[in-house]
Every structure is written in structure tokens, then in C-alpha cells.
Structure 1
Amino acid sequence: MKKQVVVFAALMFCGSAQQAQTSTDCLVAQYYFNQGNANDDIGPYHGNAVGATLVPDRFGNPNAAYYLSGAPGSYINLGTTSVLKPTSGSISMWVNIADTVTAGSGYYINPILLTKCQQGPSCYEAYCIYYDISSSKVVAACTQLPCTQPSALTNSTVNAGLWHHYILAYDSTAIKLYLDGVLQDSVAKGFSSFFLAGDSVMIGNSASVSNNRFFNGTVDDIRFYNCVLSSAQVTGLYNEASPSIGINDPGSTVKKITVFPNPAEKIINFSETADVMITDTRGREITAGQNTNWTDISLLAPGIYLVTLSKKHVITGRGKFIKE
């Protein structure tokens, strides 16, 4: 038992060390949604969540991420400030795609994040991150008028129902797209980004008459930087620990569930039937299931894991177990 406690403490220290490596030097806005709204955590650039539902984040913390339904009236508007529109910058965000949305018109995409460079019907994305329905890949792009649009793509298709970390980094030289801490694509840019004054930075809605598309999924932990992040900073953001990793802290309103056997090698059972999410001690989702009271852990690496049970997006309990 003493050895297990020491191991857990070491893992917690590693998570804290990784969190300390995340960049704040050129951070200009941060939207973690942990206060139950879309306010900027470090400044005055508050957003407005419209038709969006607060749900558990990737760590299982309640009411700490926003679910967008894929309807026209479900989005987050981060406002028109030029602070979110640097000519050289990085945007970091966690995204869990729920399903593709074919409603709407125009480009066959689901917009995750975008702001415009002009009011025309096409080639208007000053920067954007979107899910391409045809290829099932996530794409990041910038536009030079009249219609030059270099785009960076994920190396493989992105499956629905899982949390992924994306970073778009751009300057006048290149566009880079990272997925879960790994560089996916770097393409030449060759121009300085231009932005449409008075246009909002939108999450989940293309805000265009001709290309009218929407997004169905959950977004969280959005950060804007006025610099291009290094690969080490990208890794630090991907490995960032949960702000409430201590699930058994005094005063917690979420009940502790029973996980048995514990330690375990192959199968673990829970004291109630619910949707289950298993994460490592850094909050990264390992596996998930629906309406169950057990799960197979035989393929997991030995270590300490966290279990979060929920029903209809409401957390009903949390626990820990040791995989032998």
C-alpha cells in the first residue's frame, strides 16, 4: 500500500511538472469554462455561449465544458476583439466530436472555430479549424485574398466520441496543425494574415449565409496566443493535468464509487450502472462505455486510473483503481 501511495504521488508530481511547462508568456485569452460560463479567465475578452449546454469535461469535472448540438442556434461567440486575431499566433483547444452534421448549405464541413477576413460568400476564413465530412479529417487553414487558402490536415481520420487536443499555429511563413501533441502537417503560407474588423471569433457556427454549417460536439480549454508555440509548449498543453485531479478532496459533492476488484488485471466492476469514462492521472481519456457496470481493462498498461460515471451528461460518481 505504501508503494502504491508513493507511485501515485510521483504521477501527480509529473502531471504538475508538465502543467508548469505550458506557455503563458504570450497567452492573451483563455476559456476554460470551469466557472459555468464563457468568460475569459485571464482578461476582459468574455464570450457568449448561445444554445450551448454545460457538460463534464474530459476529466469528468461537472459543468466544465460546452456541448454544441449541431443546430444553427448552438454556438459560442468569443467577440470581435483584435486581441484574438494576431498576425502570428497559436490557438489551443480540446474537442470531442459527437457526430457529423449534414444540415445547412455550402462547404461540406463542420466548423469548429473560425473568424473571417472578408464578407464574401467564399474564401473568407482568416483562420479556421474544421471537420471535413468527406475525408473525416480535421483541417486548419488561413486565407489570403482573393482566394489562396493553404490548409494543414490531420494524418489520419478522427473518430467521433473521443477527446482530442488541437493546436493551430501560424505566422507569415507557415501553418502548423498539432493533434494530441504531435505535429500532423506544416504547410507554407507566404502571407501575413488579414482580419475583417468587427467580425466575431465563432465556435461551432460558420456564420455565413452561403456556407451555413454547424458543429455537433463538446469543446473545452480554449487558449489564444500571440506567438507560435514551440513543440515543447505544445506537449506541455497536451499533458496538462486536471485542475481538480484530487477526486476525493474534502468538500467534494461527487460521491465516491466502489470499483472492484481493486487492484485488478482484466475486469473491473462498478457499484452502479451508468456511462463510464476511464482516464489516466493526467486526464487523458483511455476508454469509455455506455450504460454498463463493468469494463475490460486487460489491454491497459499497469498504473493508476480514474473512473467517472455519468447519466445524461451528469456525473454520478468517481473512483480510482490500480491496473496490475
Structure 2
Amino acid sequence: MATMMLAAIFVVLSLIATRGSVAQFPVQGLQPLQDQCAHLQEENSHLTGTLDQLESCVQGCLRNSFFHQTDCEPGILAYYPLDNDFKDHCNAFHATPQGGVSIDHATGQNGAARFDGTGKLVVDFFRLYQWGTAFSISVWFKRTGGFTTYSGIVNNGYHTTGSWEIRMGRSGSTYLTHEEFGCGVVTANSPATWDFSSVDAPSHTWHHAVMTYDGFRLSFYVNNEPQHGNENCCSGPILARNTPVTIGQAGPGTVGNPEFFTGLIDDVRLYGKVLSTEEIAALYSRGAGMN
């Protein structure tokens, strides 16, 4: 199968070099590549059969071949250990640092990303990404400041303008304090996040958060414990947005309130599947790099 894939990729790359276009993959010999990328066609309606789209598919196949690591789990979209860099160690969808963010090794053998309240990590690859009806996000975090403002942990946009988010509260909020946080997804019938709120997360302490969505039910786990919220908030695919995945800020923030995170974030994992309770427990048992 690997030989057939390489042969098909060679044919497509040769065609791409000519920059012509075809409709519905009419060139013979591409069947192996079509088979490999069928799941992409199903999940991404924008794949219509042009060579530009074939090129994107081939790049994904090549990326998986050259960057896949043996410790990457099935179904993982991106993995940011944040031990020594801001790279995706599974599929090379690397994060770009902006502002005050660095790798901190001060309190442990492994590293974690330290955010000073002015910086974030941005992954532009996920703009317009079709999240579908099977999604999970796992993250470790420790908040150490910025308690007067909401603070984005990981998301792909702010509240109603993104597709999903995990975000901290603020002191003096009517329903969230700086030691509480929430999460949610955005679908056609659920236009805002905060499907879970007022979840306890004391500051200056490491916490593990996992959010999963299966197209009908949203679940949220903190330190391997299931939380109570609006589990039946949503149905259907998570909406695609022209926004990047952002770590350390609530999307781009709002005017006068950027909602940067202050503290440490570690071991961020995005999945195109619904994590099982056993998988969540295994992630929790590994701990954070600086825990």
C-alpha cells in the first residue's frame, strides 16, 4: 500500500506542476490516493476535485508520513507538548508565538508554555477547518494571575465567533470567579459557548481539562472527573470559522479586554474523535510536564 501511495502521490505532484485542473478526479491511477483521502472528502465539503484540493490532500498525506511520531495516538489532529518548542509533534501544524510567551523549565524536568498576560500561540492551519461531529481537546493549565479578566486557555475564536473554547472566569463576575472556568462548542442550533460554566479550578494549581463532543452530547472532564453542565446543548457539526486555533487568549479578545491568559499551559492535544473515559484517565495519569 505504501508503494501504491507513493506512486499515486508522484502522479498528482506531476500534475500539480502543470497547474491544470480536473473535475472529480478523472485521471486514472489516482484510486489509491482517493481511498486514502476519502475521509477528508467526507469531512471537508470544500474538496471538489480540483488539483489545488488534490495538492492539499497530498500535502497532508506527506505530512503524516514524514512527521508522524510513534507516540501519537490514533485520531489525533495536533499535539503540542510545549516541553521545548511550540511545534505540533504529530502532524506539523506548528504554533506561532505572538507577544509574551516562552518555554519555562524552572520548576520541572520537562517544560511548559509560560504566558505573561500579553502573549499567545496561534495555529493558522485550522482556519476554516471542518471540525465535524467527533472532536476532543485535552489541556493542562495553571493560572497564576490576570484575575480581573476572563482568560482564554485554548479555542479557535471568542465565544460566538469561534467554534469551541475553554476559558477562565474573572473576579467579580456574576457567575464566574477567577478560580472557575467553562467551555462549549458552537453548532447551527447552539450559537454560543459556555455550555459548561462555574467549574472549579483554583489558581496556582495544575488542572487537566478535556472537552469531547459526539454530534449530540458535549462532555467536560476536569482532573478526570466528569462535570455537570448543559450536556445536551448541541447537535450536528461544529461550525467552521475563518479563525486560527489560539492558545493563551480568548480568540483575538475584545476591545479594551484582550482576555490573555497568565500562567502555564502544557500538553495541548486536539483530536478528530471522541475520547473514551479510559483514554481521558490515561491522559490524566501522565500528568503535566511541570506538574
Give the aligned partner of residue 191 of structure 1.
236
* Counterparts in 2 of 1:28 and 1:147: CA distance versus 1, 3 Å: closer
1:111 corresponds, among 152, 155, 159, to 152
Give the aligned partner of residue 165 of structure 1.
208
**For 2:214 and 2:74, how far apart are their aligned partners in 1?**
17
1:66 corresponds, among 113, 127, 150, to 113
Matched, 1:147 2:184: no
* Contact kept? 1:154, 1:184, Cα under 8 Å: no
* Counterparts in 2 of 1:181 and 1:85: CA distance versus 1, 3 Å: farther
**For 2:193 and 2:288, how far apart are their aligned partners in 1?**
36
TM-superposed deviation, 1:32: 0.4
2:78 corresponds, among 29, 54, 60, to 29
**For 2:129 and 2:208, how far apart are their aligned partners in 1?**
19
* Contact kept? 1:170, 1:176, Cα under 8 Å: yes
**For 1:150 and 1:240, how far apart are their aligned partners in 2?**
28
**For 1:147 and 1:43, how far apart are their aligned partners in 2?**
30
* Contact kept? 1:48, 1:76, Cα under 8 Å: yes
Matched, 1:203 2:247: yes
Superposition RMSD in Å? 2.7
**For 2:193 and 2:221, how far apart are their aligned partners in 1?**
18
Give the aligned partner of residue 60 of structure 2.
none
Give the aligned partner of residue 225 of structure 2.
182
Matched residue type, 2:184? A
Higher helix residue share: 2
* Contact kept? 1:30, 1:224, Cα under 8 Å: yes
TM-superposed deviation, 1:54: 1.3
Q: Tell me the number of residue pairs that the alignment of Structure 1 and Structure 2 aligns.
A: 208
Matched residue type, 2:244? S
Matched residue type, 1:45? F
**For 1:165 and 1:190, how far apart are their aligned partners in 2?**
25
Give the aligned partner of residue 26 of structure 2.
none
% identical aligned pairs: 19
Contiguous gaps of at least 5 residues in structure 1: 1-21, 103-107, 244-282, 286-324
Higher strand residue share: 1
* Contact kept? 1:90, 1:224, Cα under 8 Å: yes
Give the aligned partner of residue 92 of structure 2.
44
Contiguous gaps of at least 5 residues in structure 2: 1-70
Give the aligned partner of residue 223 of structure 1.
269
* Contact kept? 1:139, 1:154, Cα under 8 Å: yes
When structure 1 is superposed on structure 2, of 199-208 and 183-192 the one drifting more is 183-192
Matched residue type, 2:142? N
TM-superposed deviation, 1:212: 2.9
* Contact kept? 1:101, 1:214, Cα under 8 Å: no
Give the aligned partner of residue 309 of structure 1.
none
Matched residue type, 2:115? L
Matched, 1:125 2:182: no
* Contact kept? 1:26, 1:226, Cα under 8 Å: yes
2:278 corresponds, among 232, 236, 259, to 232
* Counterparts in 2 of 1:173 and 1:122: CA distance versus 1, 3 Å: closer
Matched residue type, 1:205? Q
**For 1:23 and 1:39, how far apart are their aligned partners in 2?**
14
TM-superposed deviation, 1:93: 0.8
Give the aligned partner of residue 78 of structure 1.
123
TM-superposed deviation, 1:195: 1.5
